[in-house]
Amino acid sequence: MWTGDEWIPAPPTETPAFALQPGRTEVTSDSNPRRMKIFAYSASALIILTGMLFLFGFIGESIEGKWYLSDDSNDYLEFNSDGNVYSGGQGETVGQWSVNDDYLYVNNEILRYEIDKNWLFISSQGSRSCTALSSEPVDLDSYVSAVGEYKDRPDWCVNLDMPAVQGTDSSATTLNSYTADDAADDASPASEGADTLIKMQMTGKDDLAWSFVKITLDVGDNIYTCSVTAGDDCVITQAAGSNDNAWENGEYIFLSEGTAEICSAQGCDVGISVTNGGHTVAGDSSQMVN
């Protein structure tokens, strides 16, 4: 109150530590300068520590980007930020991916994975064989010297699949091979139902993850894609083995008509192509279906 000579009570003689600024409706503050200084030092230290962890590779390693299987610049798998997996060798998107801890999920399959320096190690779950992909195109000599004796590779990577090199036999990614035989079912018109066409068996030390295996059939000028999931031209059925996510050594599979009528009569000459990670797997290139 103003008495004519003075204000009662008297106004403060010091400026408040935190004054309300124009346009602001509230002020949150800590009136303890020492506490604020400690907080500032802690925040700075956290920023520096985070940067060091990224710098030295303890955190921040990501599977996103291109990973190469050989010295061919088009021979890669690319894990895109939108969740798609693109195969440079096949020239198309081959599935969807996500990660959880040490596991990589591609479509419906679970793979082990680990990134160390410039290498991505991938293995079918439960397998002791793995494939190493490089962050840059790599020739065979460099691959062998860098990874063949690589002592820091994952303990679950006992057998290392070697990559193909441009100008060499593209089956070098795996020493596995397969055989194909006519299935017992007779080829018949679509009106009589889907036919089981071909029986195939894998032989070799590697388990081939279905995420990277592509089987196609051709009859005349028509190309048919086979898949372990329903909805494709041709359906792959596993008849044995303990791993539903891979084609195992000694395992038989059957190729049956799916959404397409592939063979409508006996004496149907069917071409066969099997690739693993974009590289040809050795085996029978055709089979007569009766």
Between CA 63 and CA 83 the distance in angstroms is 11
In the chain, the domains with their CATH numbers are: 65-168 (no CATH), 177-289 (2.60.40)
Q: Are 271 and 285 in contact (CB under 8 A)?
A: yes
The residue count for the chain: 290
In DSSP terms, 223 is beta-bridged to: 218
Burial 196-209 (b: 16+ CB within 10 A, else e): bbbbbbbebebbbb
* Angle in degrees, CA 275, 277, 279, rounded to 5: 50
Q: Are 171 and 201 in contact (CB under 8 A)?
A: no
Between CA 72 and CA 139 the distance in angstroms is 8
SS3 at position 279: strand
Chain segment 124-138, per-residue pLDDT in tens: 777 777 788 889 887
Between CA 60 and CA 99 the distance in angstroms is 14
pTM higher than 0.75? no
Per-residue pLDDT tens digits of the chain, which is 290 residues long: 455 565 555 544 544 343 334 333 343 444 454 543 443 344 343 333 333 333 333 334 789 999 987 777 888 889 999 999 998 877 888 889 999 888 999 887 888 899 987 888 888 777 777 788 889 887 766 776 666 555 567 888 776 665 543 333 333 357 789 999 999 876 666 566 678 999 999 998 888 888 788 999 999 999 999 999 888 999 999 987 888 888 998 999 999 999 999 998 888 999 999 988 777 888 999 999 98
Q: Are 95 and 85 in contact (CB under 8 A)?
A: yes
Q: If we measure between CA atoms, which residue out of 245, 208, 253, 16 comes closest to residue 108?
A: 245
Burial 136-174 (b: 16+ CB within 10 A, else e): ebbebeebeeebeebeebbebbeebbbbbbeeeebbbbb
